[in-house]
Structure 1
């Protein structure tokens, strides 16, 4: 099995997990946006990889400016996930504290 096939097949479990997270209503909104942003990263990376191959004759990882630009979407999605869960933890802790 090629890495491209494995990559394509890995989207299905991710989309299924994302569907369940969305449907549960228990995932902090900002974290959920971060998980969806990972799909934006994938959507940006695929054409960037094709461009790197067609224009430079190299893999995306070997074209620094293009690779870094694509990876910035992954960085943004990771930041949103972390901030979203941080916000969720803070809200849960404040809700659990007795009002005095």
Structure 2
């Protein structure tokens, strides 16, 4: 059976494929695409933060509030950017339809 850390590492490959195709398509709103890349940054930050939590505090990242909250800030930022990016695209589309 796969451990959660191995499963986490394996999940990066489909996500990298997702980013590749979203970027390559040229149809993803730029701000939303930045948000998807910030999510990758969240993952990159979370891994060493989890290791540090284990080594320094002897517990998981979820149990070290200041460290966990700092890492989660990147997840929040990612979500905000994705939502704002798609919101901009919807508003732009609606505006274009009104002027047709």
Give me the TM-score of the superposition, normalised by structure 2: 0.96
Following superposition, which runs of at least 4 residues in structure 1 exceed 4 angstroms of deviation? Answer: none
Match of 1:47?
A: 48
Aligned equivalents of 2:99, 2:77: Cα separation in 1: 35
Give me the TM-score of the superposition, normalised by structure 1: 0.96
Aligned equivalents of 1:98, 1:76: Cα separation in 2: 33
Aligned equivalents of 1:56, 1:21: Cα separation in 2: 39
- Within-5 A mapping of 1:75-94: 75-94=76-95
What's the offset of the Cα at 1:19?
0.7
What's the offset of the Cα at 1:95?
1.1
Match of 2:59?
A: 58
Aligned equivalents of 1:98, 1:77: Cα separation in 2: 32
Match of 1:26?
A: 27
Q: Which runs of 5+ in 1 are unaligned?
A: none
Aligned equivalents of 1:8, 1:86: Cα separation in 2: 31
CA-based RMSD of the aligned residues comes to 0.8
Aligned equivalents of 2:48, 2:7: Cα separation in 1: 18
